[in-house]
């Protein structure tokens, strides 16, 4: 295979450009993306707190047919438009013959994340040149903050797909304005129907800010592009908004009031600070790109778009989103796009350091995961096995041939990539993506039963249901968290009545949640303890169930 090597003698190292071999690189990206996307979507219960509200809304859609305004159990106000949950419910229904509800619903993330990764790659190619898009996708796959959130049952996954599509549409608007306007209109509609006003404000705010600040964007064609996108989005938004307002006027009024008055937070520093770990390895690459192109940041359209999109996203999220790391996903898009364009121009020492840091980090993580699995299977080292049993609350040592085979394949791919690929800048981002997939893949194959044992509420709530002896019991509750209420209803169909609810005075059963370090409330003598339980590995919370004595 012949290569053309670009190199300057200032210490920059460019990647060898192969005259053939593009198909191999594309196949590697597709294979890596498939493994990264699908591993972790199935095989575990809904985890608190990321997935509890979503699984309850999906259950409401499937059980009650509520498609316009589905609500979680004990929820009286609509938090989010229903697009993501409708898509997840459809996925759960489609795969119901193979998976239970939460696993089938979570599979819809494969679609949303495929859209996201495709848009990230196309944005990198559009902003820079051929080949950069592939490595923008590699960087996105390798980011630390994305991996867990991308595999959770949460509407922010659809929100990320919408903002990634809108970002690409803005980048494409200079070259293909009509195609870009349809993409931006779709992004606005999907963002609104999945999350509400927040993604819409990010996309439209970016477009308006570009037009106000820079002559390059203050053109008639750009105004037509934005206007067409908004007009294209309106009918799609109306498909939900009009029925919602007509059939549920009270819910609509409350939701609209909440949306319009939700931008009074001040979490700007929170979202800015978490990028220090959340956005690796995109952050150091983006910072290098900023320094390298510092003379052109305000003069070239590509940098204008990236910087304005980042600033508008940061301001909008800081004002309108809760201080949860999953809400920062959109901030990854401009950092990845900026960093991807300067991969070829990293200093030799910086590229080597980033590469070896990634190899060392994921190599150590992989070694520890394999060591923990080996200890659980063989009992040696015994101290590690005891610690893992303590933390997971599981003594299970069953061997899954399928999981083990997948783990071996993933490990082999990582080792092959690290050994075979010659040192280059592009190999650095490839190794990060493969390393992230390697670490996540091992967790989701070798350790998933242990993690699920520690986090699942199914066993404890199944025991609670068995102790009741009846499925339609009235249960009043004290100090039971919303996530626990949701999961209890999901697993058992039981519904808890709050202490202040009028009907709770006549309930025959009484459930109390205790927290370590908090005073334990003791009911009156008319109540008799019939069950107590907790998750095996939980050291903080437990439950007590009482029955009224007649």
What integer pLDDT is reported at residue 86 of this predicted model? 96
531's tokens: 């069950």
Instruction: Please state, as a whole number, how many other Cβ atoms lie within 10 Å of the Cβ of residue 244.
Output: 19
Cis (ω within 30 of 0) for the bond into 49? yes
Nearest to 29 by CA among 420, 437, 442: 437
Angle at which helices 482-492 and 52-64 pack, to 10 degrees?
Answer: 40
Write the burial class of residue 188 (CB in 10 Å: 0-12 exposed, 13-18 middle, 19+ buried): buried
DSSP state of 167: H
If you search the block for the tokens 């200093």, which residue do you land on?
A: 347
Q: How far apart are CA 550 and CA 547, in angstroms?
A: 10
What integer pLDDT is reported at residue 264 of this predicted model? 86
Nearest to 271 by CA among 222, 356, 329: 329
Nearest to 21 by CA among 437, 421, 390: 421
**H helix intervals, 456-526:** 458-468, 482-492
Angle at which helices 177-195 and 197-213 pack, to 10 degrees?
Answer: 140
What integer pLDDT is reported at residue 381 of this predicted model? 87
Q: How far apart are CA 484 and CA 511, in angstroms?
A: 12
Q: How far apart are CA 27 and CA 25, in angstroms?
A: 5
What integer pLDDT is reported at residue 112 of this predicted model? 96
Q: Can you tell me whether residue 278 is helix, strand or coil?
A: helix
Q: How far apart are CA 35 and CA 37, in angstroms?
A: 6
- β-partners of residue 541 are 515
| Contact assessment for residue 541 and residue 516, using Cβ atoms and an 8 Å cutoff | yes
Q: How far apart are CA 123 and CA 174, in angstroms?
A: 13
DSSP state of 347: B
What integer pLDDT is reported at residue 5 of this predicted model? 34
Nearest to 375 by CA among 366, 365, 387, 363: 387
Q: Can you tell me whether residue 80 is helix, strand or coil?
A: coil
pTM, rounded to two decimals: 0.90
Q: How far apart are CA 322 and CA 195, in angstroms?
A: 13
What integer pLDDT is reported at residue 24 of this predicted model? 62
| Contact assessment for residue 431 and residue 355, using Cβ atoms and an 8 Å cutoff | yes
Question: Backbone dihedral region of 74: left (phi > 0), alpha (psi from -120 to 50 degrees) or beta?
Answer: left
Query: What is the pLDDT tens value at each position of the chain, 550 positions in all?
Result: 333 333 333 333 344 444 434 566 667 778 888 889 999 899 899 988 889 999 999 999 999 999 999 999 888 889 999 999 999 999 999 999 999 999 999 999 999 999 999 999 999 999 988 888 888 999 999 999 999 999 999 999 999 999 999 999 999 998 899 999 999 999 999 999 999 999 999 999 999 999 999 998 999 999 999 999 999 999 999 999 999 999 999 999 999 999 988 888 889 999 999 999 999 889 999 998 898 888 888 889 999 999 999 999 999 999 988 889 999 999 999 999 999 888 877 777 777 888 888 888 999 999 999 999 998 888 888 888 888 888 887 776 777 888 899 999 999 888 888 776 566 677 788 888 889 999 999 999 999 888 888 888 998 999 998 888 766 778 888 888 888 999 999 998 888 887 777 777 788 888 999 888 777 888 888 888 999 988 888 888 899 999 888 7
Question: Backbone dihedral region of 43: left (phi > 0), alpha (psi from -120 to 50 degrees) or beta?
Answer: left
What integer pLDDT is reported at residue 15 of this predicted model? 41
Instruction: Please state, as a whole number, how many other Cβ atoms lie within 10 Å of the Cβ of residue 160.
Output: 29
For CA atoms 315, 483, 261, 250, give the dihedral sign. positive
Instruction: Please state, as a whole number, how many other Cβ atoms lie within 10 Å of the Cβ of residue 415.
Output: 14
Q: Can you tell me whether residue 488 is helix, strand or coil?
A: helix
Number of residues written out for the chain = 550
Q: Can you tell me whether residue 542 is helix, strand or coil?
A: strand
If you search the block for the tokens 């999981």, which residue do you land on?
A: 403
């Amino acid at each position: 295979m012949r290569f053309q090597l670009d190199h300057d003698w200032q210490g920059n190292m460019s990647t060898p450009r192969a005259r053939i071999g593009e198909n191999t690189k594309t196949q590697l990206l597709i294979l890596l993306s498939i493994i990264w996307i699908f591993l972790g979507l199935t095989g575990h219960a809904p985890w608190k707190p990321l997935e509890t509200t979503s699984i309850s809304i999906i259950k409401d859609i499937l059980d009650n047919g509520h498609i316009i305004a589905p609500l979680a159990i004990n929820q009286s106000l609509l938090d989010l438009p229903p697009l993501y949950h409708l898509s997840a419910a459809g996925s759960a229904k489609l795969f119901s013959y193979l998976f239970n509800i939460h696993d089938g619903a979570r599979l819809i993330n494969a679609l949303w994340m495929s859209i996201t990764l495709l848009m990230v790659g196309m944005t990198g190619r559009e902003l820079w040149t051929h080949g950069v898009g592939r490595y923008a996708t590699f960087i996105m796959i390798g980011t630390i903050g994305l991996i867990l959130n991308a595999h959770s049952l949460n509407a922010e996954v659809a929100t990320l797909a919408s903002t990634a599509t809108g970002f690409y549409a803005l980048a494409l608007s200079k070259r293909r304005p009509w195609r870009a306007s349809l993409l931006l209109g779709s992004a606005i509609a999907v963002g609104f129907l999945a999350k509400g006003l927040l993604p819409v404000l990010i996309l439209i705010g970016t477009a308006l800010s570009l037009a106000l600040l820079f002559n390059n964007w203050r053109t008639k064609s750009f105004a037509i592009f934005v206007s067409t996108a908004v007009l294209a989005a309106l009918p799609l938004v109306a498909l939900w908004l009009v029925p919602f307002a007509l059939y549920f006027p009270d819910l609509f009024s409350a939701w609209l009031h909440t949306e319009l008055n939700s931008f009074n937070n001040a979490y700007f520093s929170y979202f800015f600070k978490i990028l220090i770990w959340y956005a690796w390895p995109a952050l150091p690459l983006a910072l290098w790109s900023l320094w390298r192109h510092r003379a052109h940041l305000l003069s070239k359209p590509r940098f204008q778009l990236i910087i304005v999109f980042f600033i508008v996203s940061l301001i909008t999220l800081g004002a309108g989103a809760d201080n949860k790391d999953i809400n920062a996903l959109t901030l990854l898009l401009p950092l990845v796009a900026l960093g991807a364009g300067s991969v070829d121009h990293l200093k030799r020492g910086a590229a080597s350091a980033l590469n070896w840091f990634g190899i060392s980090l994921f190599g150590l993580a992989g070694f520890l995961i394999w060591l923990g699995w080996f200890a659980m299977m063989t009992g040696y080292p015994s101290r590690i096995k005891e610690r893992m049993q303590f933390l997971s609350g599981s003594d299970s040592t069953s061997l899954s041939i399928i999981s083990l085979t997948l783990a071996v394949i993933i490990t082999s791919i990582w080792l092959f990539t690290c050994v075979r690929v010659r040192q280059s800048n592009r190999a650095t981002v490839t190794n990060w993506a493969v390393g992230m997939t390697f670490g996540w893949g091992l967790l989701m194959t070798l350790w998933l039963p242990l993690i699920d044992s520690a986090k699942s509420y199914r066993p404890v709530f199944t025991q609670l249901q068995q102790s009741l002896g009846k499925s339609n019991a009235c249960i009043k509750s004290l100090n039971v968290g919303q996530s626990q209420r949701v999961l209890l209803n999901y697993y058992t169909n039981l519904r808890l009545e709050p202490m202040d609810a009028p009907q709770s005075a006549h309930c025959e059963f009484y459930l109390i949640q205790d927290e370590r370090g908090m005073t334990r409330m003791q009911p009156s003598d008319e109540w008799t303890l019939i069950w107590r339980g907790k998750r095996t590995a939980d050291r903080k919370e437990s439950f007590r169930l009482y029955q009224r004595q007649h």
